[in-house]
């Protein structure tokens, strides 16, 4: 293969493009993706990526100066991976446009990121992708943005206000996939069964699997019987999903024991005791709950204590430091709830619109996550809610998430939501 990759130079003079790094580390003959029974090798994958990148470079209106921001609207699958890598390969910045977004929400992302173009990959193959060039206005932060060598812009959940555009560079992305793998230990021997939407989970998952030479296994159904059929035929060793997926698997009444499974990672939503116990009983493997943060990566993962303490998000990965702090920014005692602060590699580079650099946001390298958490005597961390959601009732702090968890234990309640309202006597 004769591939030419965009090159970015870090402050120390090293060229950096994450796709280049994956290509240089990969064994061309090894499987990169299994989808619908079709095995795509790393060599085949990069031939497709190279062709898609060449197509994008030829598209009318594709900007070749600076770092163009390209939106990607594509469903889960091989096409998403190929087009995402192609965008990065040509030196553009990927902006995922999730399927569930309304037209108004999608337009807001286009406006706030000042996109230079959008790729719609709705066909059966990436060759059926449609390119639409856009003409965004010139922005004050354009030069600062380009200097970062940005790879991704992802929007935060917006739970503490208007969602923020999180900018992540190629260099920081590599730092993340290296730091996270200290706990995941993903390698060429692994076949990772993928369950989550790629528009929301890609950087420290799909990119991590590719960087470390693993095979990503894709399926089109979340039904337990279909997932387990794929797991059996591909001999999947790792599964990465949300509690919803594991609840379906735990309820399966088949006889497949999944002997090849070595790691089951749950993220994206809080894990319940019922799901954790059910999955463990069904497959003999404990669920490892992790905390993924758009601004940070995967700093916490419950591995060693997953069986006995499934509701914990574990201890910090080796590369990260964490502290629980009070409202004054001072560390709290063990067993006391505080805001989770994190320091470590792969931290995001900037917020977009309004533009804020990492140094302007962090305090001496520490990032305030907005999550409330508590550490037990063994160093295990438990999430308790969000700083902005805490209710003050007669001076007593109440966490809506804990009330919701208690209500949802009732057999007649599937889901509930607790919110606070002002009260003339009790407070807010």
- Which of 101-105, 160-164, 165-169, 251-255 bottoms out in mean pLDDT, i.e. has the lowest? 160-164
Q: What's the burial of 373, exposed, middle or buried (CB within 10 Å: 0-12/13-18/19+)? A: buried
How far is 122 from 77, CA to CA, in rounded Å? 10
Highest mean pLDDT among 11-20, 106-115, 372-381, 416-425: 372-381
DSSP state of 261: -
**Cβ-based neighbour number of residue 173 at 10 Å:** 26
User: Of residues 27 and 12, which shows the higher confidence score?
Assistant: 27
Percentage, residues of the chain above pLDDT 90:
79
- Among 41, 58, 109, 49, CA closest to 83: 49
Highest mean pLDDT among 75-84, 161-170, 379-388: 75-84
**Cβ-based neighbour number of residue 253 at 10 Å:** 7
pLDDT single digits (tens) 46-87: 999 999 999 999 999 998 888 999 999 999 999 999 999 999
Q: How far apart are the first and last CA of the chain?
A: 63
Contacts by 124-133 with C-beta closer than 8 Å and gap 24+? 125/79, 126/48, 126/52, 126/78, 126/79, 126/82, 126/83, 126/86, 127/55, 129/52, 129/55, 129/74, 129/79, 129/83, 131/56, 131/59, 131/60, 131/61, 131/62, 133/59, 133/60, 133/61, 133/62
Residues 20 and 5: beta-carbon distance below 8 Å: yes
Residue 239 CB partners (closer than 8 Å, separation 6+): 192, 193, 195, 231, 245, 261, 263, 264, 265
Provide φ and ψ at 225, rounded to 5°.
-65, -35
pLDDT at residue number 63: 86
- Among 374, 381, 368, CA closest to 399: 374
User: Of residues 123 and 264, which shows the higher confidence score?
Assistant: 264
Q: Give the SS3 label for residue 321.
A: strand
pLDDT at residue number 14: 45
How far is 330 from 55, CA to CA, in rounded Å? 53
What is the reported pTM?
Answer: 0.88
Residues 204 and 298: beta-carbon distance below 8 Å: yes
Interval 361-374 mean pLDDT: 96
307, pLDDT greater than 90:
yes
Sign of the alpha-carbon torsion through 313, 186, 53, 126: negative
Residues 240 and 194: beta-carbon distance below 8 Å: yes
- Which of 138-147, 272-281, 292-301 bottoms out in mean pLDDT, i.e. has the lowest? 138-147
How far is 401 from 21, CA to CA, in rounded Å? 41
How far is 428 from 417, CA to CA, in rounded Å? 16
Order of strands across the sheet that contains 356-357: 130-133, 117-121, 69-74, 93-96, 150-155, 165-169, 350-352, 356-357
Q: Give the SS3 label for residue 149.
A: coil
- Among 152, 6, 167, CA closest to 72: 152
- Among 9, 17, 27, 156, CA closest to 96: 156
137: left (phi over 0), alpha (psi -120 to 50) or beta: beta
Q: Give the SS3 label for residue 113.
A: helix
Q: What is the mean pLDDT of the chain?
A: 91
271: left (phi over 0), alpha (psi -120 to 50) or beta: beta
- pLDDT bracket for residue 423 (50, 70, 90): low
270, pLDDT greater than 50:
yes
Query: What structural domains does the chain harbor?
Result: 38-172 (3.40.50.980), 188-344+363-386 (3.40.50.12780), 390-428 (no CATH)
Bond from prior residue into 354 cis (ω within 30 degrees of 0)? yes
């Amino acid at each position: 293969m004769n591939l030419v990759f965009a090159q970015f130079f870090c402050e120390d003079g090293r060229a950096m493009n994450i796709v280049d790094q994956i290509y240089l580390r990969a064994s061309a003959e090894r499987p990169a993706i299994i989808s619908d029974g079709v095995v795509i090798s790393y060599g085949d994958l990069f031939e497709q990526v190279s062709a898609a990148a060449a197509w994008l470079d030829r598209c009318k209106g594709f900007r070749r100066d600076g770092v163009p921001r390209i939106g990607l609207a594509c469903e889960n699958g091989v096409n998403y991976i190929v087009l995402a890598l192609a965008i990065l390969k040509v030196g553009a910045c990927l902006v995922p446009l999730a399927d569930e977004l309304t037209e108004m929400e999608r337009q807001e992302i286009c406006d706030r990121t000042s996109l230079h173009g959008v790729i719609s990959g709705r066909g059966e193959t990436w060759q059926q992708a449609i390119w639409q060039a856009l003409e965004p206005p010139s922005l004050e932060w354009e030069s600062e943005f380009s200097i970062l060598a940005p790879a991704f812009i992802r929007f935060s959940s917006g739970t503490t206000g208007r969602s923020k555009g999180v900018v992540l560079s190629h260099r920081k992305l590599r730092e993340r996939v290296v730091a996270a793998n200290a706990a995941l230990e993903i390698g060429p021997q692994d076949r990772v069964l993928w369950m989550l939407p790629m528009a929301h989970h890609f950087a420290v998952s799909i990119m991590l699997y590719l960087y470390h030479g693993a095979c990503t296994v894709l399926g089109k159904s979340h039904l337990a019987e279909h997932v387990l059929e794929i797991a059996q035929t591909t001999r999947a060793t790792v599964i990465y999903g949300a509690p919803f997926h594991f609840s379906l698997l735990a309820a399966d009444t088949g006889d497949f024991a999944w002997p090849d499974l070595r790691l089951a990672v749950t993220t994206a939503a809080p894990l319940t005791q019922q799901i954790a116990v059910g999955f463990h009983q069904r497959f003999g493997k404990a669920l490892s709950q992790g905390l993924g943060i758009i601004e940070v990566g995967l700093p916490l993962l419950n591995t060693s204590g997953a069986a006995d303490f499934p509701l914990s998000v574990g201890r910090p990965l080796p590369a990260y430091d964490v502290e629980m702090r009070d409202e004054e920014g001072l560390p709290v005692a063990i067993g006391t709830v505080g805001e989770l602060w994190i320091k470590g590699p792969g931290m995001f580079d900037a917020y977009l619109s309004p533009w804020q650099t990492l140094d302007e946001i962090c305090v001496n390298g520490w990032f305030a996550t907005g999550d409330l958490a508590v550490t037990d005597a063994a160093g295990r961390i438990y999430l308790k809610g969000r700083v902005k959601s805490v209710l003050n009732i007669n001076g007593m702090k109440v966490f809506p998430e804990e009330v919701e968890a208690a209500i949802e234990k009732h057999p007649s309640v599937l889901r509930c939501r607790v919110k606070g309202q002002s009260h003339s006597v009790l407070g807010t």
